[in-house]
Amino acid sequence: MFKGSLVALITPMRADGSLDEGAYARLVDWQIRQGTQGVVPVGTTGESPTLTHEEHQRAIEIAVESAGGRVPVIAGAGSNSTAEAVSLAKHAKRRGADAVMVVTPYYNKPSQEGLFLHYTAIADAADLPLIIYNIPSRSVIDMSVETMARLAQHPNIIGVKDATANLARPLHTRRASGADFVQLSGEDHTVLPFLAAGGHGCISVTANVAPLHCAEMHRAWAEGRLEEAMAIQDRLLPLHDAMFCESNPGPVKYAASLLGLTHEHTRLPLAPISDAARSRVRAAMVDLRLLD
């Protein structure tokens, strides 16, 4: 159910910074029509740290309504407060999300036992599929393979979004947690090596603006057309680079604005991206023929 090209959705906002519900609904529909196999609202790329609870919940509702059962919706439900994460996960279940994605608690720096207890509490309370989001570069802590294997024994904990960029990690995770434990890359640059190491798909930032290319790359890989998949990967590389030339989601929201999908606005403390970054993003999109 959770495989292939999934998108870490941006949260469309108007120039005044308010949630643009119409643009959000259109974005989800466009993604699905372009071949995206799953949508992930209100993760880090969706600016979840600066959304109100009401906005967070509404974004999930829009994603579920717009997807209309065509593809799974994996709702962001992470927090460094276990009680808050439980509340967000319960809301996602009530509103019809197919799963939740829960980031490792940032700033608190819990022990491995703390991580185990945190995720177990959420999985027990929410009773829907849960995907661990392991991103040490942002949350400071790194869930060990051993802790993840313990959590994989829980019937509701079904996979991981792995943003470590460590290509040995999916090999060890597969060995420790089993081939059915869903492994989704959270790092666009290394998608194909990740798949080769036992991964099942990618939750992509780049797919916000190049969903067709990302979906075609995953389809080519799944059908054994490896040279074609690698050729698409090569074409996407400059765009991947551009999407992370400044703090995410600044570059991708600017790219989305160039396509007319949404305004480029991001909430403070994220600043508007620099002129140099704008030039780099535009050049990468022209190179991929997303823009003239």
Over the stretch 87-128, which tens digit does the pLDDT of each residue have? 999 999 999 999 999 999 999 999 999 999 999 999 999 999
Compute the average pLDDT of residues 36-42: 98
Compute the average pLDDT of residues 209-219: 98
List the helix and strand counts (H, then E) for the chain. 12, 8
Contact 2, 159 (CB under 8 A): yes
Q: Per residue in 46-88, pLDDT tens?
A: 999 999 999 999 999 999 999 999 999 999 999 999 999 999 9
pLDDT for res 25: 98
pLDDT for res 36: 98
161 annotated active-site: yes
Cα separation, 122 vs 83, in Å, equals 8
Q: Per residue in 163-173, pLDDT tens?
A: 999 999 999 99
Angle at 102 between CA 188 and CA 220, to 5 degrees: 30
Cα-flanking dihedrals φ and ψ of residue 60, to 5°?
-65, -45
Question: How many alpha carbons lie under 13 Å from residue 224 in its C-beta half-sphere?
Answer: 0
Residue 5 has which token pair?
Answer: 């090209």
Q: Is the pLDDT of residue 203 over 90?
A: yes
Cα separation, 204 vs 189, in Å, equals 10
Q: Per residue in 6-28, pLDDT tens?
A: 999 999 999 999 999 999 999 99
119 annotated active-site: no
Contact 9, 28 (CB under 8 A): yes
Q: Per residue in 216-236, pLDDT tens?
A: 999 999 999 999 999 999 999
Q: Is 130 helix (H, G, I), strand (E, B) or coil?
A: strand
Check 3, 24, 93, 133 and give the catalytic one. 133
Question: How many alpha carbons lie under 13 Å from residue 192 in its C-beta half-sphere?
Answer: 20
- In the chain, the domains with their CATH numbers are 4-220 (3.20.20.70)
Q: List all residues 6 or more positions away from 54 whose beta carbon is below 8 Å from its beta carbon.
A: none
pLDDT for res 73: 98
Cα separation, 10 vs 43, in Å, equals 8
145-146-152-154 Cα dihedral, nearest 10 degrees:
-150
Percent of the chain's residues with pLDDT above 90: 99
Classify each residue of 188-214 as buried b or exposed e, where b means 16 or more C-beta atoms within 10 Å of its C-beta.
Answer: bbbbbebbebbbbbbbbbbbbbbbebb
Q: Is the pLDDT of residue 1 over 90?
A: no
Contact 23, 260 (CB under 8 A): no
Best CA proximity match to 201, nearest among 174, 219, 213? 219
Check 3, 93, 161, 253 and give the catalytic one. 161
